[in-house]
Structures are given as structure tokens and as C-alpha cells.
Amino acid sequence: MTEQEQMVLAYVEAHHRITRAEATELCAIIPAQASRLLRRLAAEGKLVRRGERRGSFYEKPTLGDR
């Protein structure tokens, strides 16, 4: 697991959710990199995306997501 992935997952533990903008700022990366990072974590089942477009955020999966 990369340092950025660990940072994002720790942030979600503390704040319950994360947006692309928050991941961009947290990891000091560009928005496209933050999007790829969040999509990768979602594909691995570590996060789940909620919402569409500008209103979307990522959070830990719940039992109903599995």
C-alpha cells in the first residue's frame, strides 16, 4: 500500500468520508491523480463511491456494499 493510500484511508477513518478535492490537498497531488487514487481504492473494495459528479465522495464500504 502506498503512502498516499494510507493517508487517504486514515483520513476516512477520522472524517468518515473524503472528496477528490480533499484527497488532492491531503496528498499534494493534482486532481487527476487524486481521482485515480480514489478509483483504485474503490476497485480494491477499500472505499465505495457515493453520489455522482461534483457531489460525489468516498467512504468505507458497509455491509450492504459487499
Would you place residue 62 in the very low, low, confident or very high pLDDT band (cuts 50, 70, 90)?
Answer: confident
- 42 within some domain: yes
- 66 within some domain: no
Which of 60, 66, 54, 64 lies closest to 41, judged by CA?
A: 60
pLDDT digits (tens, 9 = 90+) for 1-50: 899 999 999 999 999 999 999 999 999 999 999 999 999 999 999 999 99
Gap between the Cα atoms of 4 and 65, Å rounded: 24
Residues spanned by the domain of 29: 3-58
**How many CA atoms, within 13 angstroms, populate the side-chain half-sphere of residue 11?**
22
- 63 within some domain: no
DSSP for residue 51: S
- 11 within some domain: yes
Would you say 45 and 63 are in contact if contact means Cβ atoms under 8 Å apart? no
Would you say 62 and 46 are in contact if contact means Cβ atoms under 8 Å apart? no
What cell does 43 get?
476497485
Domain count of the chain?
1
pTM score, whole prediction: 0.90
Average pLDDT over residues 59-66: 81
Domain holding 34: CATH number? 1.10.10.10
